[in-house]
Amino acid sequence: MKFSGFRVVAEALKGNTGWRPLWRNPEPENEYDYLIVGGGGHGLATAYYLAKTFRQSRIAVLEKSWLGSGNIGRNTTIIRSNYLLPGNQPFYEFSMKLWEGLEQELNFNAMVSQRGVINLIHSDSQRDAFRRRGNSVMLSGAGARLLSREDLRSIAPFLNFDDERFPIRGGLLQPRGGTARHDGVAWGYARGADLHGVDLIQNCEVTGFRIVDGRIRGVETTRGYIGAGKVGVAVAGSSGRVMAMAGMRLPIESHVLQAFVSEGLKPTLPGVITFGAGHFYISQSDKGGLVFGGDIDGYNSYAQRGNLPVIEGAAECAMALMPSLGRARLLRMWGGLMDMSMDGSPIIDRTDVEGLYFNGGWCIGGFKATPASGYAFAHLLATNTPHETARSYRLDRFARGYVIDETGTGAQPNLH
């Protein structure tokens, strides 16, 4: 399709009647080889790699609402691979490498922008922890730089360096980190999957699993029963509810995470800045809006709706970090459902039901994982063996004591 400024103007004058949808809108077949439940980033990426890379066919994605209506379209778009633990680091670095080639792979502008991610340091002990993380990240080849207070001041002079409670002593920079346009990622994977023959079925909620003699046979949906050879579940914040329909209780709780965007401003922020001590992080979108967020809401919920105390907390942190923000107007805020695992790391695994696979537990940081998660889940579904970077993401690690407790390192709740 030809896409130019002239075309946009011509379409506007014609009432936008000439645009063609990026994917088909098929009726569901009676049966597929593979059903992916959840049309978020992870489900769409899984379907794409399953068809394109692993050359499987007869695949459908079942989405209860519209594609991209969940967290893939609600997140704050941060990507990075500065993970510390051996269970996580290779996986997130694999994801970063996929991000770096994603636009060529999908022939779609996902606005991947490696403008750098800085984690602020407020104390000597935090500097030690971040130095350790930085060294480990450098050893893995993902790239990191420890910034002194003066280095940081030259990059971000507007920060409140001398806050009484949380003076800023420096930062840890991952130059290859940055942002990507979240819904562009969903659309790119959706179009790519559709071009490879995947049926993307919207407004189709999975309401039950048909399991016979310990094997999956298909799913019940709001559009009728659909048979399947294998079923992969990637429903993020709805993981607990959906897997309960297969008789499973997961080590996952759902919480709301809220985010905020200001009116458009001139370029102000150099990249992403995380203020772990204050539970706050911020970046600037290409449109100029300051995009920021805080911590998860404290109680469990399946409602994509936030609460006022968290809004107040985020605003207070914003003022503590960047007092000049007080003059910007807040444009809007929203919430998404987080699938919080008990060690902060994800699960990509088979289940006790033959042919039923699970992908979830992404907590507050699954957007950056989208490419690797899709690739690894497709690998698992196609070959029945885990991808080499996702071997640690087993469901039984909680029972065996092999947790990947990355929540305990530094200011993790705010690293995103």
Which residues in this chain contact ligand FAD in the complex, by CB under 6 A? 37-43, 62-65, 69-72, 74-78, 205-206, 234-238, 242, 257-259, 293, 336, 362, 364-368, 416
CB of 218 to ligand FAD, least distance (A): 14
Which residues on neighbouring strands pair with residue 396, listed in sequence order? none
- Minimum separation from the CB atom of position 192 to ligand FAD (A): 15
- Residue number, nearest CB to ligand FAD: 40
Comparing CB distances to ligand FAD, the nearer of 133 and 416 is 416
Smaller CB distance to ligand FAD: residue 387 or 416? 416
Residue with tokens 């994603």: 102
Asked if 73 contacts 371 with a C-beta cutoff of 8 angstroms, the reply is no
Q: Which of 62, 129 has the CB closer to ligand FAD?
A: 62
DSSP letter at 344 equals: S
Minimum CB separation of residue 275 from ligand FAD in Å reads 14
Residue 289, beta-bridge partner list:
264
The dihedral formed by the CA atoms of 69, 75, 78 and 84, expressed in degrees to the nearest 10: -100
Strand partners, 354: 215
Q: How near is the Cβ of 226 to ligand FAD at its closest, in Å?
A: 11
Going by C-beta distance under 8 Å and a sequence separation of 6 or more, which residues neighbour residue 76?
259, 281, 283, 291, 292, 293, 416
**Nearer to ligand FAD (CB atom), residue 116 or residue 127:** 116
Closest approach, Cβ 74 to ligand FAD, in A, equals 4
Our CB check for ligand FAD shows the closer of 127 and 294 to be 294
Q: Closer to ligand FAD at the Cβ: 103 or 205? A: 205
Neighbours of 309 (CB within 10 A): 10
Nearer to ligand FAD, 74 or 122 (CB): 74
Give all strands (DSSP E) within 265-346, no chain letters.
272-275, 280-284, 289-300, 330-341
Instruction: Give me the least distance between CB of 245 and ligand FAD, in Å please.
Output: 8
Q: Which is nearer to ligand FAD, 127 or 181 (CB)?
A: 181
Rounded CA gap, 97 and 371, in Å?
A: 9
Triad 113, 405, 47: Cα angle to 5°? 50
Which residues in 378-413 are b (16+ Cβ under 10 Å) and which e? bbbbbeeebbebbebbbbebeeeeebbebbebbbbb
| Percentages of the chain per state (helix, strand, coil), in multiples of 5 | 35, 25, 40
Nearer to ligand FAD, 89 or 238 (CB): 238
CB of 9 or CB of 303, closer to ligand FAD: 303
CB of 46 to ligand FAD, least distance (A): 9
Instruction: Give the Cα separation of 106 and 101 in Å (integer).
Output: 9
- In degrees rounded to 5, what are phi and psi of residue 336? -135, 165
Rank residues 103 and 163 by Cβ distance to ligand FAD and give the closer one: 103
Beta-strand runs (E) in 49-185: 59-62, 78-79, 117-121, 145-148, 170-174, 178-179
Minimum distance, C-beta of residue 211 to ligand FAD, in the bound complex (Å): 16
Contact assessment for residue 392 and residue 87, using Cβ atoms and an 8 Å cutoff: yes
Instruction: Give me 173's structure tokens.
Output: 């920079």
Min separation Cβ 335 and ligand FAD, Å: 6
CB of 241: closest distance to ligand FAD in angstroms? 7
> At closest approach, how far in Å is the CB of 116 from ligand FAD?
14
